[in-house]
Amino acid sequence: MAKSICLFNHKGGVSKTTTTFNLGWTLADQGKRVLIVDLDSQCNLTGLVLGFSAIDEDQMESFYRDRNNLTLQPIVESLINGVTPESLIASNKSNVLKTGNANLFLLPGHLNISDLDSQISVALKIATGIPATKNIPGALPKVLQLIADGINADYVLYDLSPNVGGLNEVMLMSSDHFIVPTSPDYFCLQAINSLAKNITKWHSEIRQFKESHGFDNKMFPIKNAPIFLGAIQQRFRPRNDKPSTSFKNWIDKIRNSINNTLVPDLQKIGCVVDRQRMEKSLSGTNLQPYDLAQISDFNSLIAISQQLSKPVFALTDEDIRSVGKVFGHAEDTMIDSKNNFAHNFQALGQRVLELTA
């Protein structure tokens, strides 16, 4: 069965989508079959993979009109109409999209996912006395699991939206693992504190929901035990390959908050990666518990990367020359920086493989 990983932080703009694509690509480079799923109505991941021009408004319409196969749009529609995950899969050929990496596949998102979000929220809150809605919360995680298994995926990565609605609740609590991307600023620090409270609340809500419906722990797709693998610090400006002082201050504060607030709260509900395994995976690096990676600002490489729908680290030297239109010293600097990212992402991929083995 595919191992599932959520990229989650309810704070917006911390690089959840970009990291889903990049981590998916690096795991695919390391020989795994990976499905990435766009669960955000903004559809940024879909745009990133297909190329931004492919989802201009007009083209977005025709993209979905021309695809009667299994993307998130018919899934959402069917689940809202009460179709079971098994019959939905049986009646549709799973046809996820290919990407620029032969081992990486995408299930594209759709604006209508927000309809399902509200249905799940209602079902979780008031469902106890209404048996008709009891299957709604487990249905989406189940369908996605079946799709991932249908393409023999080793990993399925979920890109979630920046909110604390029912859809994020069931996807996070059904996942095997989760990673928290962070940005080095005050808003993100605030988010870490509320993340701890939220996940604790979700854990108890799902437990009550399962108990009240007699859902069996083995059969029900929401296992309610996602394991926190660590945080990824993003978008800081480096100095000598390390975060410069002003960013370092925020990174340290956020790391402290993760160690002193988030991790102890998650430990109480059994949702943290084993400490010894984590420390072993960090040995020989500058990283500290619970860092998974430090990814500095991509600077102008991001523009080339988005234009070519490839992660920054997968750009070739020729991509940088011809699309970036740089030469001489600027070209060398960009190529060096790309190589650094390649090294960093490869290490991140290996660490994730180790921690989820």
Ligand X SMILES: Nc1ncnc2c1ncn2[C@@H]1O[C@H](COP(=O)(O)OP(=O)(O)OP(=O)(O)O)[C@@H](O)[C@H]1O
DSSP letters, 204-225, are HHHHHHHHHHT--TTTSS--S-
Residue 220 to residue 317: CA distance in whole angstroms: 48
Contact flag: residue 77 with ligand X (CB under 6 A): no
Site residues for ligand X, window 126-145 (CB under 6 A)?
none
* Shortest Å distance, C-beta 317 to Mg ion: 29
Contact flag: residue 162 with ligand X (CB under 6 A): yes
Task: Give the residue from 78, 80, 81, 98 showing the smallest Cα distance to 90.
Answer: 78
Q: Tell me whether residue 4 or residue 44 sits nearer to Mg ion (CB atom).
A: 44
Residue type, 175: S
Interface stretch with ligand X, choices 10-18, 66-74, 252-260, 279-287 (CB under 6 A)? 10-18
Q: Tell me whether residue 126 or residue 302 sits nearer to ligand X (CB atom).
A: 302
- When CB distances to Mg ion are compared, the closest residue is 17
Q: Could you tell me how far CA 169 lies from the centroid of its own chain?
A: 13
Q: Tell me whether residue 40 or residue 154 sits nearer to ligand X (CB atom).
A: 40
The entry of ligand X, Mg ion, none near residue 18 (CB within 5 to 8 angstroms by kind) is: ligand X
* Shortest Å distance, C-beta 305 to ligand X: 8
Contact flag: residue 82 with ligand X (CB under 6 A): no
Element spanning 6, H or E: strand 3-7
Contact flag: residue 297 with ligand X (CB under 6 A): yes
Interface stretch with ligand X, choices 36-44, 69-77, 115-123, 128-136 (CB under 6 A)? 36-44
The token pair at 103 is: 């081992």
Site residues (vs Mg ion, CB under 5 A): 16-17, 44
Contact flag: residue 13 with ligand X (CB under 6 A): yes
Task: Assess contact for 27 and 155: CB atoms under 8 A.
Answer: yes
Residue owning tokens 């931004």: 52
Contact flag: residue 44 with ligand X (CB under 6 A): yes
Task: Give the residue from 277, 301, 287, 272 showing the smallest Cα distance to 347.
Answer: 287
Phi, psi at residue 105, to the nearest 5°? -125, 155
DSSP letters, 224-247, are S-PEEEEEEEEEEPEETTEE-HHH
* Shortest Å distance, C-beta 163 to ligand X: 9
Contact flag: residue 117 with ligand X (CB under 6 A): no
Long-range contacts of 127-136 (CB under 8 A, 24+ apart): 127/209, 127/212, 127/213, 128/209, 128/212, 128/213, 131/213, 134/213, 135/82, 135/84, 136/79
Q: Tell me whether residue 130 or residue 302 sits nearer to ligand X (CB atom).
A: 302
Task: Assess contact for 188 and 247: CB atoms under 8 A.
Answer: no
Task: Assess contact for 6 and 177: CB atoms under 8 A.
Answer: yes
* Shortest Å distance, C-beta 93 to ligand X: 30
Site residues for ligand X, window 298-317 (CB under 6 A)?
298, 302
Among 4, 18, 121, 198, binds ligand X (CB under 6 A): 18
Among 17, 41, 78, 344, binds ligand X (CB under 6 A): 17
Q: What is the DSSP letter of 55?
A: G
Q: Tell me whether residue 14 or residue 144 sits nearer to ligand X (CB atom).
A: 14
Q: Tell me whether residue 16 or residue 210 sits nearer to ligand X (CB atom).
A: 16
Contact flag: residue 33 with ligand X (CB under 6 A): no
Positions in the binding site for ligand X (CB under 6 A)? 12-18, 40, 42, 44, 161-162, 234-235, 295, 297-298, 302
